[in-house]
Amino acid sequence: MGAPTPETTSTSTPFPGSAPQSQTQPVVILNPASNNGRAAKLRPLIERLLTHGRGELVLTRTPGDGIHLAEEAARAGRPVVVVGGDGAVHEAGNGLLRAGAPVALGVVPVGSGNDYALRVARAPSDLAAALELALTGSPVRVDAGRVNERYVINAIGVGIDANCAATANRLKPYGLTGRALYMSAALIEVLFHYDGCPTLSASFDDGPVKRQTYAAVAMSIGPTYGGGFKINPDADPQDGLFDVCVLDKPRQIRALRLLPMVERGQHVDQPETHMFRARHAILESEVEIYAQIDGELMRDRRFDVSILPGALWLRRGA
């Protein structure tokens, strides 16, 4: 796909060593489809907040637009602000990492989940306050990751969580958002598609390969995904490591009991749960399976996952 034409016009290393000091006008990318189209209604307010040259607002129109817009901005040395949910952050982050330019990323949470904005960028929920942080906050280095040919901004998971992401996409037209969306998807997967849990050959940091059926393998940079599920509650986005949660597949009734525990982060000491940190993983299946990457879906038989320490400059709240 070529770079889209925004509504207003205006390969180097992915590990920049010094904080970006750009004096150029930020590009503010709004995904009007975020939160089932509710984000589109915020456009007039955002335009008012960006008066006097504070930022150039551009809108995405189709999936993938955010990648091209962010990459184009970064190559021009312009900071990027993304206004949307985790999917919009995924696209903007992929664009910045493709460009490899030392520009800052700001995030304004207007999506249905907002895990990255709220728990990694620590953005306020108020739109004006979040936009101010995204435009003027001091950038700090945070980790990212890579899986096959894509970048991971917050998390990658296979198993029930990936299957839930696929189900959640099918439920969005019914108006569900946030916790209600992801909990509904999780219940559908456990109740009706529990046999879809994958059998994987998994190894971490060049350790031994273990083959078994897993409920989930979740590797994250931040502590939550899926609308607040605390899958790796102690994850630190600046430690140069993935936090990893491996869930052995329990009986179905036990999985139903574990589900609310995972949401609250109370699963970490349960017998099915294995928590650790890693820099690299290979996950292989004999058949194609889903992986969710920041809530976005991909299908493959092999997932080669690596941490990219300090790969992004993020305007992060206190």
179 lies in the same domain as 305: yes
The span from the CA of 220 to the CA of 236, in Å, is 9
> Is 33 in the same domain as 160?
no
More confident: 135 or 12: 135
Residue type, 158: V
Integer Cα distance of 115 and 229 in angstroms: 9
Rounded-to-integer distance, Cα 202 and Cα 145, Å: 18
161 shares a domain with 286:
yes
The mean pLDDT value of the chain amounts to 91
- Domain-located, residue 84: yes
Same domain, 57 and 113: yes
pLDDT in tens, 43-75: 999 999 999 999 999 999 999 999 999 999 999
- 253 is a domain residue: yes
110 in Cβ contact with 178 (< 8 Å): no
Assign residue 29 a region (left: φ > 0; alpha: ψ between -120 and 50; beta: otherwise). beta
The verdict on 179 and 279 lying in the same domain is yes
Q: Are residues 106 and 194 in the same domain?
A: no
CATH number of the domain enclosing 123: 3.40.50.10330
The per-residue pLDDT for 109 is 95
Residue 133 domain boundaries: 27-137
User: Which helix or strand (DSSP H or E) is residue 274 part of?
Assistant: strand 273-278
| Residue 287 CB-density burial (10 A; 0-12 exposed, 13-18 middle, 19+ buried) | exposed
Express each pLDDT in 86-130 by its tens digit. 999 999 999 999 999 999 999 999 988 899 999 999 999 999 999
d(CA 76, CA 62): 22
Residues 296 and 195 in one domain: yes
- Determine what percent of the chain is predicted with pLDDT higher than 90: 76
How many other β-carbons are positioned within 10 Å of the β-carbon of residue 64?
A: 15
The model's confidence at residue 227, banded by pLDDT at 50, 70 and 90, is confident
pLDDT class of 143 with cuts at 50, 70, 90? very high
pLDDT above 70: residue 1: no
DSSP per residue, 189-240: HHHH-GGGPPEEEEEETT---EEEEEEEEEEESSS-BTTTB-SSTT--TTSS
155, 113 contact by CB (below 8 A): no
pLDDT on residue 18: 65
Cα separation, 155 vs 226, whole angstroms: 10
Residue at 55 is within a domain: yes
* pLDDT number for residue 4: 36
Q: Taking 80 as the threshold, does the pLDDT of residue 310 lie above it?
A: yes
- Strands in 90-138 per DSSP E: 104-109
User: Is the per-residue pLDDT at 243 higher than 60?
Assistant: yes
Closest Cα to residue 70, out of 107, 43, 110? 107
Q: Are residues 156 and 304 in the same domain?
A: yes
Q: How far is CA 273 from CA 125, 141, 158, 232, 249, in A?
A: 32, 30, 15, 11, 10
How high is the pLDDT of residue 201?
A: 97
The per-residue pLDDT for range 118-137, each reduced to its tens digit, is 999 999 999 999 999 999 99
300 and 236 within one domain: yes
